Chain A
Amino acid sequence: MAGRLPRDPAPWAARRDRALASPVLRANIRSVTHRLADARRRAYASYPAGQVLRVAGRDAKRRAMAQVEPLLDQLRDRLSANGARVIFAEGPKEVADYVVSLAARRGAQRIVKSKSMLTEELDLNRRLAAAGLAVRETDLGEYIIQLLDERPSHILAPAAHRNRQEIHAVFQETADREGVPGPTSDDVGPLTAFARQRLREDFLAAEIGITGANFLVAETGTVVLITNEGNADMVASLPPVHVVIAGIDKVLDTWDALAAVIQQPALSGVGQRLSAYTTLISGPRAAGSPEGPEELHVLLVDNGRRQLLGGPYADVLTCIRCGACYNVCPVYRQVGGHAYGSTYAGPIGAVETPLLAGLDFLPELPKSLCTLCNACVEACPMDIALPDHFITLRRRQVDEGREAAGTRLTYRAWGRLWSSPRQYQRFVSWARRGQRFMMRQGRLVRSPGLWAGWFETRDMPPIAPETFHEWWARRSPSGKAPV
């Protein structure tokens, strides 16, 4: 079944123009993406084993996606044996309903969360807030955008579009509202100190902690969390109830598979050999153990994923959410993540979003957000065939009649004229006659139809007085190779 994702109601042109008109946003995104892309390059260059592991990790992810259902059953059995409750959930409503009724049973009001793109995809915070629950994001970037009431603009660095000055301003506003001292300056130290102080109180007060999962190991029944801030450890251990919300695509078959892939998010995402914190969870607090949550709930979410299994786009499900494709994408570097209009941005987002939610959902994504430069597939540690997917999604849009009639006709005529030498010659003579009305100072400066966009910002030379074909014919009239 198709998944449900949140979407910005603004149309593509408005979202694009908003981004292009914001020099601060563009400078912030440019700086973050270049920094992370350079870090990735350096990390692999200085660590040849990382490439070997990358290939092994990619194969492990692909192997798992070829046998998802039995692995999920195995995972459920292992986790259940350790006292966890494992639930298969369809989409946003089922997940939110489960958490809301869990909170009601526990009499819980306050929830802390660590960073989870899936819960963004499920629009979970909004749904929980509507049920009267107080949700606090505890990843620094997520905390910032929660205060700003924004969505993540980058899969790994949710507040990548904001700079220190902007973060300082929203922290100061928060401090004023909550009657506490604000950060002493807009340096990184005081800013993180402020967030740390505010979040510590939320960690201690929360009755439920929600995390995602980076990997799920079926063989051992293990939930794997990686962070660089350690906040997921707090979320998973301090509140009496821990809820893991993970996509079915996170499952791996064996512990060896985990060992192969565990470094890749850090290597490809931020250029570290391993994330600062790696947390392995296999159940709630065991009898006699002094710490850990009383209850562990693991929700395994579909939301459009199962429909991709076994098909031409199954490799999309091997994405490890490292953001390497975002960081090298020329279009993402110009417009940032909000322009994409839903949860996932960058090349993977432009491909995955319509695959999860249906081709009618944000149909501009495959068309308008990719120049087919292939930088994404070069950077992707899982070798996801992103450029091919862009092209075949465009083809499906055309095949299913989603292209404007005028555009379709233009391509038909263009294809017909250029697929035979005689017609091509005819095209040249027509175009020569037509272009006289579109020139200034010897250059083409406007054109009708599909080509009009070019001339908004660029000139073109006219069709040459003598094409190469014509020159060749003059040079060797028989069509024979000159000797």
Chain B
Amino acid sequence: MEQVDLFVSCLVDLFEPATGRAAVAVMERRGAQVGFPLGQTCCGQFAYNAGHWPEAWAMAKNLLAALDAPPTPGPDRGERATVGLSGSCVAMVREEYPKLLDWAADQPGWDSSWRVRHARVAGRLWELSQWLNRAALAPVADEDTTTTRVALHTGCHMRRVLGAGADAAAVLAALRVRVATPEDEDQCCGFGGTYAMTEPKISTALADDKLTALRATQADAMVSCDWGCLLHLAGRLSRTGVAWPVLHLAELVDLADRGELAPTQLARAGRFAREVP
């Protein structure tokens, strides 16, 4: 049985824990024994991107310690995989932490063992769709689900920093879910971490363009591997009174596994899109 640790991200933990629960179900269904390193909070990306590196480094150390801690019980973590539920956070740990480590190495109190711990953690860390795509999963659902179409939004860090832009589509194809690709699919949705808060006008203009492109696919739902993008886009749908199911990939895969991909079932699971008054 494959041992997999879950890295849920702060947004899933705090705001969308159903995504984490769906991920556990999906992974267990594929034969994984799922563990949850309890010390995890946030990867620190929001602070890192905004230039507040001492804070980012404090959070990074906490996450590295949590993901590197020996499991109880279970085999040594070196033989385990860690699966993250956000392409952006996984990209942060794998691709940006080395830059943060280089900076930290010049700060007081530096301990070079952080590099070793980072190498261990990053070496076994995957984003969920990467893990699913690697796991050569056969569709669990018996039912032919080809009538369901979802519009896929791939986050920029997932696509460009992590280089995992194609995995989610492959996973959905294996589950016989039809994927609609929006126009300008590689353009940013405008979330950008704290950018969504500090520059709401530009951020919202970008969200509206992205939603127009996604909605133009006339898909049954929108799906992504990042709750950063999704909270921003769904939050905009909610504020403008547009109802359209919004789901994380983990939830869509869970529904597909259970053969519950009818539009009404997607609408029930896809939350945070209020009915048009």
Contact = CB atoms under 8 A, between A and B. Distances in A.
A51 interface: no
B74 A453 contact: no
Interface in B170-200: 184, 186-188, 190-200
Given A334-B205, A458-B232, A373 B197 contact: no
A398 B205 contact: no
Interface stretch (A98-106, A125-133, A300-308, A411-419): A411-419
Interface string A414-429: 1110111100100010
Contact of B197 (A396, A451, A468): A451
Contact of B235 (A34, A415, A454): A454
Nearest to A366: B51
B258 interface: no
A273 to B, nearest CB: 24
Nearest to A456: B200
B49 A458 contact: no
Contacts of B207: 457-458
Contacts of B35: 481
Contacts of B34: 481-482
B17 A334 contact: no
A401 to B, nearest CB: 12
B17 A464 contact: yes
Given A371-B203, A411-B52, A453 B73 contact: no
Interface string B35-78: 11011111010011111111110110110001000011110000
B30 interface: no
A397 interface: yes
B42 A418 contact: yes
A322 interface: no
B51 A374 contact: no
A424 B59 CA distance: 11
Nearest to A461: B15
Nearest to A443: B238
B73 A468 contact: no
A452 interface: yes
Contact of A367 (B16, B36, B198, B204): B198
Interface string B219-253: 00000000000011001101100000000000000
Nearest to A451: B197
Contact of B202 (A334, A451, A460): A334
Interface residues of B, number: 76
B197 A460 contact: no
Contacts of A454: 196-197, 200, 235
Given A371-B191, A454-B235, A479-B38, A411 B55 contact: yes
B134 interface: no
Contact of B71 (A373, A375, A378, A481): A481
Given A457-B239, A481-B71, A419 B51 contact: no
Contacts of B156: 371-375
Nearest to A392: B51
B183 to A, nearest CB: 10
Contacts of B61: 419
Nearest to B3: A481
Contacts of B52: 395, 398, 408, 411, 415
Contacts of B66: 421
Contacts of B148: none
A415 B232 contact: no
Contact of A471 (B20, B33, B38, B62): B20
Given A457-B236, A458-B207, A468-B21, A415 B59 contact: yes
Interface of B: 3, 8, 10, 12-17, 20-21, 33-36, 38-42, 44, 47-56, 58-59, 61-62, 66, 71-74, 99, 156-157, 160-161, 184, 186-188, 190-207, 231-232, 235-236, 238-239, 271-272, 274
Closest 4 CB pairs of A and B: A415-B55, A394-B51, A371-B192, A458-B235
21 contacts: A16-B201, A16-B202, A330-B188, A331-B206, A334-B202, A334-B205, A367-B198, A372-B192, A375-B156, A377-B160, A392-B51, A394-B49, A395-B52, A398-B50, A419-B41, A421-B41, A457-B201, A458-B239, A461-B231, A464-B17, A481-B34
